[in-house]
Amino acid sequence: MTTEPLLSVENLHTTFTTDAGTLTAVDGISFEIEEGETMCLVGESGSGKTVASESITRLVQSPPGEVQGTVEFRGRDIGEMDDTELREIRGGDVAHIFQNPQDALNHCYTVGWQIVEAVQSHEPNTGREAARERAVELLTEVGIANAAARLDDYPHEFSGGQKQRVMIAMALVTNPELLIADEPTTALDVTVQAQILKLLDRLQDEYGMGILFVTHDLGVVAQIADSVVVMYAGKVMERGSVLDIFEQPSHPYTRALIECLPGGERSIDGIPGTLPDPVDPPEGCRFAPRCEHAVPECRTDDHPEESPVSGDHLAACIYYKPGYDATVIHGPETDAQANATGGVTND
Amino acid sequence: MGLEWYIARRVAWAFVVTFIIISVTWGLLAASPNPQVSNAVRSAAMNGDDPAEAREIQKKRLGLDEPLTKRYVDYMVSVYTLNWGWSQTRSQPVTEAVMNGLYYTVQYSIPWTILVILISPLIGIYSAANQYSWKDHAATGFAFFGYAIPNFFFGIILLLIFGLQLGWIPITYNTDVGVFSLANARQLAIPIFVLVTGSIGGTMRVARNESAEFINADFVKTALAKGVSPFRIYARHIMRPTMVPLSTTVVGQLLALFTGASLLVEVVFSIPGLGRLLFRSILAQDTSIVLGTSLFFVFIATIGNLIQDLVYTVLDPRISFSDR
């Protein structure tokens, strides 16, 4: 018997109507998350990863946004849900935490008020006192010292890391099965980042949550991911287990990203060029204009389909199609492994 | 140090502010020629009496021969003890005239204030929620119409339509009806409508622009992601931060109403309120009344700003009252 994935996203498209034309932020991506799994969605700023994560529970503002494709949570199609069901699943089974904890909490209300609101949105019968007690428990759980006394403090009286802890506590209110974390540590300094990652790791074990972790930071990916999906310009470039991605990065884009890590070949210069125009993307492979291995065939037709590198490890690159020699990209196997692991351990 | 200490200090400051304003007013008055003295001098000259002697007698009668310091202290004491002088044209104490006018002004300004505070955030947020749709344009068009058309002109037009043509409302204001009577509501409906449309434009646009900013705020996305209903998001998460800048505009509007807007509306609708009192006193050159009503506006402005500061700290907890 095959088990159903926790979340299954198929051919997700998210477009925005703008004055310049239709902007395609997410262009047909698919992925699955198993129960208790941590999947990292990786890509540089503007690659569409945040929009993809917000398309899952339809948080994208519509209009101008429009989400197409199938998103199934435990076999239930989120796209078919009415407003009431959507509200139940948002913050119920699927919780979110966001990039910038400074603005993610409403500055006009106390932290306790906002957690109580989250509780009562899903359990209208819970009284205020009971909800407050629950808030104290959760705040203690995420490591806010003296939680009972801090319940009536306002967000500006908390530090950035503490605010993110409050956000996490708020997300845990309903014991969610999936936590969508959109760059939750990007706005925090490195020591706080490590604490938050450790906290998420502990909570994942405790609550058995699946986590969709959106980040541009490959160092974080190496630390927490089970599987990885690499995105560029709204398309999936490469996917595989965390070992696949770091030991045998196969798409030129993934390789370039890894080389950008501190100590890597590109740690100073980065990847030359910029993201393509999302209103009018180039023909062929989205990464071709910036790719050093691109051949003329890369610039025609559609974006290449994902071809197997090995097992579940897929790369959307012409070199992995039959008839092309992939060693052009990663060189002799041993060499590639040495490069990749070297890059990671340095971080 | 808590809120009480902050309020106490703000009230003390408000007192200092009125003190400075009144002192400056007194300085200007003391430096300018007194019309009653010049009148006495002129009539003495025309009657063949000694103008210099008449000047001395009149000055003595008005207490202008006293030393400046004593005159200043006397003046300040009488201002703060509400002894604001005698109106020649109305033959009544200035405070009494002001209180009479205030009685009628309050009858329309309180409903006006309440309506503006209730309606303009609602229209503004409705407009922002439907940004750039026809609903937004309709609400904005309505707001700009009220903002653009002069109150007195709009008042005259409505008086022509509803008073003369349709006969639904009385043309002249009747002071004999009870404050809470239906007749009073009927005669004040149009003036209040004119004032509300006139001031809703500014506040509604502020509400729209501020809330449009908050609709895209991260904390609204958080609220959406935790399953809060759209109505509650607007009513709680967007309305509350919008009220902070809006309260400034509302106070500003209220002050403008007391001084400028209500004057012409009172004249058009013949309401014997503060505005018309000031208008007539200026025409009749009744200095003590003009001074008295101005003083009243000074107090209103100071109290308005005080209330605004206090409301601020309640609405936006990030504004600290203990550090200032």
Q: Does A57 sit within 8 Å of B225, measured CB to CB?
A: yes
Helix (H, G, I), strand (E, B) or coil at B298: helix
Instruction: Evaluate if residue B151 carries a pLDDT over 80.
Output: yes
Asked if omega into B111 is within 30° of 0 (cis), the reply is no
Final residue belonging to a domain, choices B54, B89, B124:
B89
Can you give the residue range of the structural domain that contains B310? Answer: 94-315
CB atoms within 10 A of CB B273: 26
Q: Does B226 sit within 8 Å of A90, measured CB to CB?
A: yes
Q: Does B226 sit within 8 Å of A173, measured CB to CB?
A: yes
Q: Does B219 sit within 8 Å of A107, measured CB to CB?
A: yes
Q: How far is B322 from chain A (nearest CA, A)?
A: 15
Closest CA to A44 of A234, A313, A252: A234
Q: Are residues B140 and B48 in the same domain?
A: no
Q: How many CA atoms lie within 13 A of B212 on its CB side?
A: 14
Q: Are residues B84 and B110 in the same domain?
A: no
Q: Are residues B300 and B170 in the same domain?
A: yes
State which amino acid sits at residue B231: F
Write out pLDDT tens, residues A17-28: 888 888 899 998
Q: Does B218 sit within 8 Å of A87, measured CB to CB?
A: no
- Span of A161-165, A281-285, B264-268, B296-300 with lowest mean pLDDT: B296-300
Residue B321 lies in a domain: no
Residues of A in contact with B224 (CB under 8 A): 59, 90
- The confidence band for B81, taking pLDDT boundaries of 50, 70 and 90, is confident
Region of A21 on the Ramachandran plot (φ > 0 left; ψ -120 to 50 alpha; else beta) = left
Asked if omega into A64 is within 30° of 0 (cis), the reply is yes
Helix (H, G, I), strand (E, B) or coil at B167: coil
Residues of B in contact with A156 (CB under 8 A): 317-318
Write out pLDDT tens, residues A107-133: 999 999 999 999 999 998 889 999 999
Residue B293 lies in a domain: yes
Q: Which of B219, B244, B321 to mutate to test the interface with A (most CBs of A within 10 A)?
A: B219
Supply the pLDDT for residue A104: 92
Q: Which of A90, A106, A115 to mutate to test the interface with B (most CBs of B within 10 A)?
A: A106
Q: Are residues B65 and B98 in the same domain?
A: no
Q: Does A61 sit within 8 Å of B225, measured CB to CB?
A: no
Residues of A in contact with B315 (CB under 8 A): 108
Supply the pLDDT for residue A113: 94
Q: Are strands A178-182 and A210-215 parallel, antiparallel or unpaired?
A: parallel
Residue B68 lies in a domain: yes
Q: Does B225 sit within 8 Å of A91, measured CB to CB?
A: yes
Final residue belonging to a domain, choices B61, B89, B117:
B89
Q: Does A167 sit within 8 Å of B227, measured CB to CB?
A: no
The whole-angstrom separation of Cα A164 and Cα A162 is 5
Q: How far is B179 from chain A (nearest CA, A)?
A: 39
Whole-prediction pTM: 0.79
> In this predicted model, which residue has the larger pLDDT, B6 or A165?
A165
Out of A107, A121, A173, closest to residue B228 by CB: A121
In sequence order, which residues have a C-beta less than 8 Å from that of residue A87 and are 6 or more positions away? A121, B227, B228, B229
Q: Does A91 sit within 8 Å of B226, measured CB to CB?
A: yes
Q: Can you read off the two tokens belonging to residue A102?
A: 């400074």
Q: Are residues B85 and B38 in the same domain?
A: yes
**CATH for B109:** 1.10.3720.10
Q: Let me know if A52 is exposed, middle or buried by CB neighbors in 10 A (0-12, 13-18, 19+).
A: buried
Closest CA to A105 of A35, A25, A165: A165
Cβ atoms A94, A176 nearer than 8 A: yes
Q: Can you read off the two tokens belonging to residue A328?
A: 């052009």
Residues of B in contact with A89 (CB under 8 A): 227
Output b/e per residue, A151-167; b: 16+ Cβ within 10 A: bebbbeebeebbbbbbb
Q: Are strands A76-77 and A65-73 parallel, antiparallel or unpaired?
A: antiparallel
Supply the pLDDT for residue A90: 92
End-to-end CA distance of chain A: 41
Write out pLDDT tens, residues B199-241: 888 888 889 988 888 988 899 999 999 999 989 999 999 998 8
Instruction: Work out the mean pLDDT of chain B and round it to a whole number.
Output: 84
Under 8 Å CB pairs connecting chains A and B tally to 81
Instruction: Evaluate if residue B5 carries a pLDDT over 60.
Output: yes
Q: Are residues B196 and B287 in the same domain?
A: yes
- Span of A76-90, B31-45, B67-81, B140-154 with lowest mean pLDDT: B31-45
Torsion angle (degrees, nearest 10) of CA A45, A47, A48, A50:
-30
Cβ atoms A53, A39 nearer than 8 A: no
Final residue belonging to a domain, choices B89, B110, B144:
B89
Q: What is the DSSP letter of A74?
A: T
